[in-house]
Amino acid sequence: MDAPETITEAVAFLEAEGYRDELVLRREGLTCAAVAGVHPFAHAVVDHTFRFEGPSDPADEAIVLGISLPDWNRKGVLVSAFGPSVEPEEAELLIALTRSRSA
In a domain, 1, yes or no: no
In a domain, 2, yes or no: no
The pLDDT score that the predictor gives to residue 58 is: 61
In a domain, 76, yes or no: yes
In a domain, 55, yes or no: yes
Question: Residue 30 belongs to what domain range?
Answer: 7-101
Single pTM value for the model? 0.86
pLDDT tens per residue across all 103 residues of the chain: 678 989 999 999 999 999 999 999 999 999 999 999 999 998 999 999 999 887 666 666 899 999 999 999 999 999 998 877 788 888 888 888 877 554 4
Q: How many domains does the chain have?
A: 1
Give the DSSP per-residue string, the chain: -PPPSSHHHHHHHHHHTT--EEPEEETTEEEETTEEEEE-GGG-EEEEEEEEE-SS-TT-EEEEEEEEETTTTEEEEEEEEEGGGS-HHHHHHHHHHHHHHT-
